[in-house]
Amino acid sequence: RLRDPEQIEFHQAAAEVLHGLDDFLGSHPHFFDHGLLERLLEPERVILFRVSWVDDHGHVQVNRGYRVQMNSALGPYKGGLRFHPSVTLGTLKFLAFEQTFKNALTGLPLGGAKGGADFDPKGKSEGEVMRFCQAFASELFRHIGAETDVPAGDIGVGAREIGYLFGQHKRLSNQFSGVFTGKGPSYGGSLMRPEATGYGLAYFVERMLATRGQTLAGQRAALSGSGNVALYAAEKLLALGVQVISLSDSEGTLSLPEGLSPDLLAALVEHKHQRRGRLAAFAANHGLDFLVGQRPWRLRCDIALPCATQNELDADDAEALLANGCFCVAEGANMPCSAQAAQRFQRAGALYAPGKASNAGGVAVSGLEMSQNATHLPWSAQEVDARLRRIMEEIHEACVRHGAQPDGAVDYARGANVAAFGKVAAAMLAQGVI
C-alpha cells in the first residue's frame, strides 16, 4: 500500500535506498523482521504549525511551519531548517529520511530530522526576517532541545536566521543551550561550520579521484548554486588547484571559461553576503557571461558538483555531461541528481557519489559543535578542519568497503546505503518495537 502518493520526492528517496539495498537485504533477511522497513519509512513525529507574523506594512502574514522528527535510533534528532516557498511536508520527509542515513555515516550519535517553512526570505527586510524567525521559534521551541532535537540551517537559513531563532529560543526557554547548530562563533558556534559542507565535499572528491590515481589539481569543475555549500566548495577547490568554471542561482548560470579567481570569489562572497545580491547583477558588474535560465550542465568539465537543490540535474543533463568528458559527479546538494541521471553516471562508469556521503561534512561539524557546547570547550579551526577531513575520509572508506564491485569500481550509492542502513537498523532492532 502506497501511503501519501503525492509526496513524490519522499518516494524517490525511499526507492533509491530500498532498491539500492535489494541484494543486501536478500542476504540479511532478519532486517525484514519487526516491521523494521515500515518503521524506517514512517517519521517518529511530525509537527505542523501556523507561523503568523506582521510584515513591514502592518499586514498579518501566515506561513506553515514543520518539523519532521524522522528517526532517533542513533541520537537526538538532527537536521536543518529550510525556508523556501517550495517547502512541503513531502520535501521535508525526503530530506529527513536522507538525513537519518547521512548522520549515521558520520559515525556521530545523531538521529535524523528536517524542518522549515514555506516562507520566502527573498525580498524581505531585516525586520521581517527577524519577526518571522521569532514567530517560527515561538512554536518550535516546545519540541526541540539539546538532548531532543537540534536544528541547523539549510536553503534560506544561514547564520542570520539561526541567530534570530536561537535568540527567541533562549528568551522563551530561559536557557543558553546548544539547541541549534550553525550559531555564530561569539555565542557557541563551531569554527568551520559555515565552511564544512563545501570543504567536506572537496575532501570527498579528492578521495574519489585517488581511487583512479588522479588528483584535483588542474581539473575543471562545474558547480551549481551560489549559496553556503557552493561558495565554500569553490573556495576549497581553488585552494586545491581546481578550475571552477561555473556557479548558478535560480535565474541562471555564471559561466567562467577561464576559471574563477580568488579575487573574483572574494568579490562574489561580499556581493552575496553583504548585499544579498543576485548572480545576474554580479555578472553585469564584472563583465562576465550569465546564461539566463540555464543550468551549468552543458559546459565542458571533468567534475560536476550540483550544490543547489533536489532534482536539478536530469537524465539529459547527465548525457550532456558524459558526452563532454565529465567523469566525476559528487552531490553537494541533497538528491540533486534525478534517479535516471544517477543511473546514467553509474552505467557509464563515471565516479558518482550521493549527497548522503559527499555532503555529510556539514552535519558532521554540527555534531562537533554539539560536543563543544556540551563540554563548554571550543576547538580551534585547525582541530575542527582536521576532524572534518578525517570524517570525510572515513565515510569514503565505508563507501569503498561496502560498495566495491567485482571489476574494482566503487558503487558509492550502494556503499553509503549499506553502511548507513546497517547502523540505523541494528540500533532500531536493539531498542525493540517502538
Write b or e for each residue in 256-288: b if 16 or more Cβ atoms lie within 10 A of its Cβ, otherwise e. Answer: beeebeeebbeebeebbeeeeebbeebbeeeeb
Decide whether 40 or 223 has the Cβ nearer to ligand NDP: 223
**Options 114, 124, 272, 423, the catalytic residue:** 114
Decide whether 25 or 364 has the Cβ nearer to ligand NDP: 364
Decide whether 138 or 228 has the Cβ nearer to ligand NDP: 228
Which neighbouring-strand residues pair with 240? none
For 20, 132, 244, 381, the CA distances from 63, given in Å and listed in that order, are 36, 9, 38, 37
The reply to whether 356 belongs to the active site is no
Decide whether 50 or 273 has the Cβ nearer to ligand NDP: 273
Decide whether 229 or 238 has the Cβ nearer to ligand NDP: 229
In the sheet where 77-83 sits, what is the strand order?
Answer: 45-54, 60-71, 112-117, 77-83, 149-152
By beta carbon distance, the residue nearest ligand NDP is 227
Closest to 196 in 3D by CA, of 378, 392, 379, 336: 392
Q: How far is the CB of 226 from ligand NDP (least distance, A)?
A: 4
Q: How far is the CB of 174 from ligand NDP (least distance, A)?
A: 29
What is the binding site for ligand NDP (CB under 6 A)?
153-156, 158, 197, 225-229, 249-251, 307-309, 312, 332-334, 359, 362
Q: How far is the CB of 398 from ligand NDP (least distance, A)?
A: 18
Q: How far is the CB of 19 from ligand NDP (least distance, A)?
A: 22
* Residue with grid cell 501556523, as numbered in its chain: 50
Q: How far is the CB of 167 from ligand NDP (least distance, A)?
A: 20
**Helix (H) / strand (E) containing 61:** strand 60-71
* Residue 178 contacts residue 166 (beta carbons within 8 Å): no
What separation, in Å, do the N-terminal and C-terminal C-alpha atoms of the chain show? Answer: 21
* Residue with grid cell 529550510, as numbered in its chain: 82
For 108, 189, 227, 236, the CA distances from 376, given in Å and listed in that order, are 18, 11, 30, 29
Residues designated catalytic:
114
